[in-house]
Structure 1
Amino acid sequence: MFDNRDWLARHVEEAIDPDLPIIDAHHHCYAVPPKPIFPSYPVDALLADKTGTGHNIVATVYVDSQITFRSDGPEHLRTVGGTDHAEAIAQEGIRRGGRNAGVCAAIVGHAPLATGARVREVLEAHKLASPDHFRGIRVRTAYDPDAPFNEDGYPGMLGEARFREGFAELAPLGLSFDAWLLHPQIGELVDLARAFPETGIILNHIASPIQIGRFVGKPAEVFADWAAAMADLATCPNVFVKIGALNMTFTGLSFIGRDRPPTSEELAEKQRDYVLRTIDIFGPDRAMFESNFPVDMLGVSYGVLWNGFKRMVKDFSESEKVALFHDTAARAYRI
């Protein structure tokens, strides 16, 4: 099992603006990672990051990794085990109290929308498993012929009639949709958002700009294409965006492979163009910061990551900072 904690410990920083309230809008939690390249991130590690880095993490949003399934019961409801797992973490945070409380304050599970209207039973089971915290689902639709991690996605998935039949079940239940896709797929999400204007959509990872395969050596072209597509998506008022998940090799913006981890200054310098353009396009009231831990832990420590975000928006007003770090996530996830 991969563990880079010794590498991350080579650079530690004190928290910048430690009183600024933060909702970590996207993280996972697992003792056994879904892939051997990821580090383990059990409950105690999550709570240590929430409480021990000096940042004021008041709440977090759990996003399912499709690895914690129910071991019995109807087969089609076993994915609800992800929500069972997250609700148990939320209750453990409440039990421990203090700064531990607020972990998994919102829960995003998984449901197979491509099964059509039958998915409603799964969605209702998620709500029963966590009446106070369950907020919506994510389907990992990320796909590109040059990407080595094509998860559950495939070409045209968001436009399929069966997928949209399942998607139509979200809004009547008051549920949102977390979208993980890659930047060449943004146009597909635009079409989906326009077809379902009453459904809240939260775009994960600023649409994961990729600089691998046919995109290698073309950073300016990737940025221009990504920015134009994001501007089109921003015309859909039902779409929010999460800012983060840039610390992986396929983005071309990570520090993986160096002999030491990045400082927050280095992080800000390398990633600010994407971050600031996202905020410029969507505005602070529709954008929120995420850690994407432990996946982004491959390239940066939790405390340094939040310092990097704070450096990128250091010239913003206090109200804009509060929106980006707290209020937008609170509104999107009803925290």
Structure 2
Amino acid sequence: MNQLNFPIVDAHIHQWDPYHTPHAAALAVKLFGKHPRILDKVVRLVKPKDLIDTVGLTDYITAPYLPADYHKDIGHYTVSRVVHVEASWHHQKGTGVVEETQFIQQLPFSQENIKLAGIVATADPRESNFKKILKMHKKASPYFRGIRKMAAHHEDPGIHAWNDDPHLYTDRKFLKGFEALAQYNLSFDAWVYSSQLKDVIALAKRFPETSIVLDHLGTPAGLFGPVGKHTGITQTARDNIYFHWKEDLAELAQCPNVYTKMSGLFMPVLGHQFHTRRTLASKQQIIELVSPMINHALQCFGPYRVMFASNFPMDKVSTSLTNIIDAFSDIVAAYNSEVVEQIFCKNAQQFYKL
């Protein structure tokens, strides 16, 4: 086991409280929160099947996830700083998204000996008031570092679309608004499925002065098993997903303004079935499954443009955070033991100007 003798910077966590903030399941939680089985049935009844399949289980989505919960999940590890990334704040109209930044800003991270070091908020560059919203985020918190606008949209209708436009990052209005990020010295978190990586490449080339980070290594849906209606059903199909992912990730890495996050590799949308068996992936299972992906990312991006991020609690459905840190640090150490601190601490500091 690789021993981490430095504090980790976690470049991607989510915080929410469905009891007190706008949340997709807020009403159901308030009505049935004390009755987990009923709550699960209600959420599955009212929410689309593709969304339920994407998150795997409902219990961790409908429960609050706050600094004390995250601190419990890190176990014996020391995490000194975290970056909160927008978590689909339900009030999206007008300037409503700024409320999430205000909410995160006041959370008691210091009580857990963790520093909130960065906030990646959300805003839509297509909106006419995009610049105003950026200014409001900045005013709401000194930790505001950039935005994420999710573009994940799959050709398989059985895989949940996180945006209504399958090519959001090439949309004319989006590109026009995106210019403001460079003007305000803000970064951009890009999240797509691997079939959309060409769009991130085009975006990065169009805005070489803007720092972009690809979340979750580009999320190759169906890589580890069947998802949706027809994705990843056969081994040949999964081999094709992996082949195209490798090619497109390597091309994206040629853009010097792009980093990537070693994260999100145990979301059910990749084809994992641990949640259906109510088991958690062990450290060894994690290594066997994702070491080829992480090694490829390291070979493409090098040790200075890959950063560790937990994506918790989204990956909690498949494994524990301590297992992820154990396994990922061993994978990186096997690649090059001298770059572990770079990837688990320094790269996030540099990218987000923490």
**Cα distance in 1, alignment partners of residues 289 and 353 from structure 2:** 32
Q: Give the CA deviation at 1:223.
A: 0.9
Q: Are residues 21 and 316 of structure 1, via their aligned partners in 2, closer, same or farther at CA, if it must alter by over 3 Å?
A: farther
**Cα distance in 2, alignment partners of residues 235 and 128 from structure 1:** 35
Query: Any idea what SS the aligned residue of 1:105 has?
Result: strand
Is residue 155 of structure 1 aligned with residue 177 of structure 2? no
**Cα distance in 2, alignment partners of residues 199 and 145 from structure 1:** 28
Q: Give the CA deviation at 1:259.
A: 4.7
Q: Give the CA deviation at 1:229.
A: 0.4
Q: Give the CA deviation at 1:18.
A: 4.2
Asked if the contact 1:171/1:199 (under 8 Å) is kept, the reply is: yes
**Cα distance in 1, alignment partners of residues 12 and 184 from structure 2:** 22
Is residue 17 of structure 1 aligned with residue 17 of structure 2? no
Q: Are residues 148 and 322 of structure 1, via their aligned partners in 2, closer, same or farther at CA, if it must alter by over 3 Å?
A: same
Is residue 109 of structure 1 aligned with residue 109 of structure 2? no
Asked if the contact 1:190/1:233 (under 8 Å) is kept, the reply is: yes
Q: Deviations over 1:149-205 (max 9, x none)?
A: 101242221111100111111111111110010001000111111000111101101
User: Which letter does structure 2 place at the counterpart of 1:165?
Assistant: K
Q: Are residues 28 and 34 of structure 1, via their aligned partners in 2, closer, same or farther at CA, if it must alter by over 3 Å?
A: farther
- TM-score, with length taken from structure 2: 0.82
Aligned residue runs from structure 1 range 252-331, under 5 A:
252-253=271-272, 255-331=274-350
Q: Which residue of 2 aligns with 1:220?
A: 239
Is residue 100 of structure 1 aligned with residue 110 of structure 2? no
Asked if the contact 1:142/1:153 (under 8 Å) is kept, the reply is: no
Q: Are residues 254 and 214 of structure 1, via their aligned partners in 2, closer, same or farther at CA, if it must alter by over 3 Å?
A: closer
**Cα distance in 2, alignment partners of residues 294 and 34 from structure 1:** 16
Q: Which residue of 2 aligns with 1:141?
A: 151
For 1:128, which of 139, 161, 170 is the aligned residue?
Answer: 139
User: Which letter does structure 2 place at the counterpart of 1:292?
Assistant: N
Query: Any idea what SS the aligned residue of 2:126 has?
Result: helix
Is residue 48 of structure 1 aligned with residue 68 of structure 2? no
Q: Give the CA deviation at 1:258.
A: 2.7
* Unpaired segments ≥5 residues, structure 2: 26-42, 44-57
**Cα distance in 1, alignment partners of residues 191 and 220 from structure 2:** 11
**Cα distance in 2, alignment partners of residues 322 and 69 from structure 1:** 38
Is residue 229 of structure 1 aligned with residue 239 of structure 2? no
Q: Give the CA deviation at 1:321.
A: 0.6
Asked if the contact 2:159/2:269 (under 8 Å) is kept, the reply is: no
**Cα distance in 2, alignment partners of residues 326 and 154 from structure 1:** 34
User: Which letter does structure 2 place at the counterpart of 1:113?
Assistant: P
**Cα distance in 1, alignment partners of residues 273 and 247 from structure 2:** 23
**Cα distance in 2, alignment partners of residues 260 and 56 from structure 1:** 25
Q: Deviations over 1:2-61 (max 9, x none)?
A: xxxxxxxxxxxxx851423311111101122646525121332023334xx111211111
Asked if the contact 1:68/1:82 (under 8 Å) is kept, the reply is: no
* Unpaired segments ≥5 residues, structure 1: 1-14
**Cα distance in 2, alignment partners of residues 299 and 105 from structure 1:** 27
Is residue 191 of structure 1 aligned with residue 202 of structure 2? yes
**Cα distance in 1, alignment partners of residues 238 and 100 from structure 2:** 37
Asked if the contact 2:189/2:215 (under 8 Å) is kept, the reply is: yes
Asked if the contact 1:246/1:254 (under 8 Å) is kept, the reply is: no
Q: Give the CA deviation at 1:69.
A: 4.4
Q: Deviations over 1:293-326 (max 9, x none)?
A: 1110010111111111122123244431111111
Asked if the contact 2:169/2:199 (under 8 Å) is kept, the reply is: yes
Q: Deviations over 1:91-136 (max 9, x none)?
A: x223x2xx5231x3110000111115x30000000000012x1100
Q: Are residues 254 and 197 of structure 1, via their aligned partners in 2, closer, same or farther at CA, if it must alter by over 3 Å?
A: farther
User: Which letter does structure 2 place at the counterpart of 1:58?
Assistant: S
Q: Are residues 254 and 200 of structure 1, via their aligned partners in 2, closer, same or farther at CA, if it must alter by over 3 Å?
A: farther
Q: Give the CA deviation at 1:262.
A: 1.9
**Cα distance in 2, alignment partners of residues 271 and 30 from structure 1:** 28
- TM-score, with length taken from structure 1: 0.86
Asked if the contact 1:246/1:253 (under 8 Å) is kept, the reply is: no
**Cα distance in 1, alignment partners of residues 169 and 238 from structure 2:** 27
Q: Are residues 148 and 38 of structure 1, via their aligned partners in 2, closer, same or farther at CA, if it must alter by over 3 Å?
A: farther
